[in-house]
Amino acid sequence: MSTPYSAVLRLPGVARLYGVGFVARIPAAMVGVVLTLHVVSTLGHGYGQAGVVSGALTVGMAIGSPWRGRLVDRFGLRRAIAPSVLVESAVWLAAPHLAYWPLVGAAFVAGLFLVPVFSVTRQSLSVLVPLARQREAFALDSVFVELTFMLSPVVGVLLATQVSTTVALTVVGSLTVAAGALLMWANPPTRSATAEGDAPVVPADGARERLLGPALVVVLLAAVAASFVLIGTDVSLVAALNGHGRAADVGWMVAIWAGGSVVGGLIHGASRRTPSPLLLVALLGLATAPAALVSGPVGLAIAVFVAGLPCAPALASINAALVRIVPEHRRGEVMGWSGTMSTVGNALGAPICGIAIDRVSPGAGFLTAAAVGGGIAAAGLLALRFVGGAPAGDAQVEERAVEAVATGDGPVSQAAPAGAPEGGALSPEVPAPRPYPALELDARPRDADVAEPAAASHAVGRAGRATRVRRAAVRTRARAAVRRPSR
């Protein structure tokens, strides 16, 4: 029986990418709990000091993610992550044997050079999977992420408690280096074949193309809001179980929470509807609130399963939206910024929800996570309704990009090249040179492009033309979309 997921898995290179991504993400899912246990159990410090080490790792990741993503965009995957493999090898070889403060510094460096497994996997999916199948592809990717976070921390805890934290930290470091080597061996594509020879367009004054617009801002805010809800739920769940004297139940309760996310992700990918990422994040906040009203482990288990249902759909929708609104040669950088925004959400959510728990109760932590994260998403939905007016030129195309993010409908429609099917839109099975070309800054004055429409239209209709003519085609179609009124 054919399913949307079987169609995705049959695409060349996709099943292999999922396998590589699943294995390569294992150390990233283990490192937090293993570092905490190492600081507390082996070095003899408190959980506050363990939080400082984890915070140093997180800050390094937040700074390094966009930088490493930009390197992937510029140099390709192997050249970009080779320094990460070398640095991570040195750091993790030494980390298990360091005293506390040197370990803090080592954690920061490890985060700064951490191999970008998550962003590279998603960036490669955007290349391997046609636009019509990307919702299912990103939903399935989110499901694999949830499975990783269900299994890996358990393995890390077993190693740390049954053997030693030094051995567990050594295993995490070894797996981190192995993950980088595995990615270099697999070398999944991060640029489509049509864009490999298409160098980024740079204006004469050396300025970078305009990238940050309302559409991208609201998606990044959705990433902040989703992370706020998730980390707040995590902290509140641990506090609630501790309050009931059931700290040993944390592992299986988190597994139930992740199980809800897996179910939700599979349903989302198989659905024909494409809700806005902001709407899904708002639903994530709403689904989290009931956990504040239950008592006892059984009621809490049911509540966290329900809270998990919108998790994978929200994350998958955010990633799919980023792919739709960002030029291909900048996706690595923007995927890195998405990771940074998630880190910001974690950094804000943990202390804010923790204060609510300390001053009121674990239930207040759930409510705070739901209200703040869901409120950010709801505010974003309201803000999108006021992004408009009637400016001329490329701003009209950007407004349509914002509308696509608000409704979850997919990319801005483009003028059809010569020979395209009637109806004017490019077929989803034939990927456009770049989604949202009008969000890019023109490289040349408009007067120099007046004579290009005929040549550009001819170039888009025939593959294999020179890349210079193909870039002219992208600009021509973008201006055509601006000049024609929306249907």
Q: What integer pLDDT is reported at residue 278 of this predicted model?
A: 87
Q: What integer pLDDT is reported at residue 47 of this predicted model?
A: 67
Measure the CA–CA gap between 363 and 353, rounded to whole angstroms.
10
Helices (H), ranges, 76-112: 77-94, 100-112
Q: Write out the H or E segment, with its range, that includes residue 30.
A: helix 26-37
Q: How many residues does the chain have?
A: 487
C-alpha triplet 281, 343, 267: angle, nearest 5°: 35
> Do 478 and 417 meet the contact criterion of CB atoms below 8 Å apart?
no
Q: Do domains 1-136+150-194 and 207-410 have the same CATH topology?
A: yes
Of 406, 398, 404, 423, the residue nearest 478 (C-alpha): 398
312 Cβ contact list (under 8 Å, min separation 6): 139, 142, 143, 145, 146, 261, 262, 264, 265, 268
Of 453, 451, 459, 461, the residue nearest 478 (C-alpha): 453
Measure the CA–CA gap between 129 and 152, rounded to whole angstroms.
27
Q: Digits of tens for pLDDT over the chain (487 positions)?
A: 467 788 889 999 999 999 999 999 999 888 888 888 888 888 988 767 877 887 788 888 888 878 877 888 788 888 888 888 899 999 998 999 999 999 999 999 998 898 888 888 888 888 888 888 888 888 888 888 888 888 888 888 888 888 898 999 999 989 999 999 998 998 888 877 655 444 444 444 444 555 666 777 788 888 889 989 988 888 888 788 877 777 667 778 888 888 899 898 888 888 877 788 888 999 999 999 999 998 888 889 999 999 999 998 898 888 888 877 777 777 777 777 777 788 788 778 878 888 888 888 888 889 999 999 988 888 888 877 776 433 333 344 444 444 555 555 544 433 333 333 333 333 333 333 333 333 333 333 333 343 333 444 444 344 444 444 444 444 444 444 433 333 4
Of 242, 232, 230, the residue nearest 356 (C-alpha): 232
Q: 453 burial class (0-12, 13-18, 19+ CB within 10 angstroms)?
A: middle
Measure the CA–CA gap between 224 and 308, rounded to whole angstroms.
17
Q: What integer pLDDT is reported at residue 209 of this predicted model?
A: 54
Per-residue CA distances from 447 to 77, 442, 451 (Å) = 38, 12, 9
Class of the domain covering 207-410: mainly alpha
Q: Which tokens go with 133?
A: 């199948």
Helix crossing, 250-270 with 311-325: angle to 10°? 50
Q: Which tokens go with 396?
A: 């009209």
Measure the CA–CA gap between 114 and 177, rounded to whole angstroms.
9
443 Cβ contact list (under 8 Å, min separation 6): 201, 202, 203, 204, 471
Q: Match 């005929």 to its residue by tokens.
A: 454
- 1-136+150-194 folds as Growth Hormone; Chain: A; (1.20.1250)
Q: Which amino acid does the sequence have at 464? A: G
Q: Which long-range contacts link 102-105 to residues 24+ away (Cβ below 8 Å)? A: 103/39, 103/43, 103/53, 104/52, 104/53, 104/56, 105/56
Helices (H), ranges, 113-249: 117-128, 134-162, 165-186, 214-243
Q: Render 102-124 in DSSP notation, one character per residue.
A: HHHHHHHHHHHT---HHHHHHHH
The domain limits of the chain are: 1-136+150-194, 207-410, 414-483
φ/ψ of residue 452, rounded to 5? -95, -15
Q: Which tokens go with 479?
A: 């201006």
Measure the CA–CA gap between 419 and 283, rounded to whole angstroms.
43
**Claim: this prediction has a pTM higher than 0.85:** no
Measure the CA–CA gap between 381 and 222, rounded to whole angstroms.
10
